[in-house]
Chain A
């Protein structure tokens, strides 16, 4: 079984500043993948970034970076230079990497509000 914990229900950040969203996970799988999705008020889940458990370097995608600490079982998302359009709900998710692992397990999410 896999479990994702996001302890921050809501966060405020000033425009142009960085924000870190916490994510811890629990799994018995040796190989797994970690994902972050953004969900604006429109409802669509937008894939942001992926980190494999055996990847040696932290993943980065533009203004998004994933601070992966395997020993601590954490996969925090860092959004740099926040923009007003970053206001949304953010979900951390994971799944195994075996051929029969396909279900994503999601955390409860963190709402980010960017202030001008």
Chain B
């Protein structure tokens, strides 16, 4: 039984570029979450999917951010026109219904 996987693990990009991250949840999990973690802080909720439906977006998610989960399997998080303030660890988690959330290894984004 494989865990949550994320790709890439690290991404360095120049300000203004677009980036896309991928998350593959645990296969039988119907719920998928994205969180953002800045240095020295705990993760903060970004968005949530139940199957393919995106049910909530945090106010942290500006219009430059978009997330999808086609077919209710993997998910992508895209950031357009990146800014230095977007530099953070982006964590994906999945769960079966409302049970424990299991996290992936994260994608560390550095915007130069």
Q: Do A and B bind?
A: yes
A residues less than 8 Å from B41 (CB atoms): 108-109
Contact A44 B105 (CB under 8 A): yes
A101 within 8 A of B: yes
Contact B98 A99 (CB under 8 A): yes
Contact A45 B103 (CB under 8 A): yes
Contact B42 A106 (CB under 8 A): yes
Query: For A4, A37, A93, which residue has the most chain B Cβ atoms within 10 angstroms?
Result: A37
Which of B20-28, B43-51, B63-71, B72-80 lines the interface with chain A? B43-51
Q: How many chain-A residues does the 8 Å CB contact rule pick out?
A: 23
Cα distance A60–B42 when bound, in Å? 23
Q: How many chain-B residues does the 8 Å CB contact rule pick out?
A: 24
A residues near B (Cβ < 8 Å) are 4, 35, 37, 42-47, 50, 91, 93, 97, 99, 101-109
Contact A47 B101 (CB under 8 A): yes
Q: State how many angstroms separate the Cβ of A39 from the closest Cβ of chain B.
A: 9
Q: State how many angstroms separate the Cβ of A40 from the closest Cβ of chain B.
A: 10
Q: A35-B100, A45-B91, A102-B98 are in contact. Are A109 and B42 (CB under 8 A)?
A: yes
Can you pick out 5 interface pairs between chain A and chain B where the beta carbons lie within 8 Å of each other?
A: A37-B103, A44-B105, A91-B42, A104-B45, A109-B41
Cα distance A102–B53 when bound, in Å? 14
B:83-107 near A, CB below 8 Å = 89, 91, 93, 95, 98, 100-106
Query: For B56, B91, B100, which residue has the most chain A Cβ atoms within 10 angstroms?
Result: B100
Q: State how many angstroms separate the Cβ of A65 from the closest Cβ of chain B.
A: 17
Contact A107 B42 (CB under 8 A): yes
Contact B101 A104 (CB under 8 A): yes
Nearest CB in chain B to that of A97: its residue: B98
Q: State how many angstroms separate the Cβ of A95 from the closest Cβ of chain B.
A: 8
Query: For B91, B98, B104, which residue has the most chain A Cβ atoms within 10 angstroms?
Result: B98
Contact of A103 among B40, B42, B48 (CB under 8 A): B48
Contact A44 B106 (CB under 8 A): yes
Contact B42 A102 (CB under 8 A): no
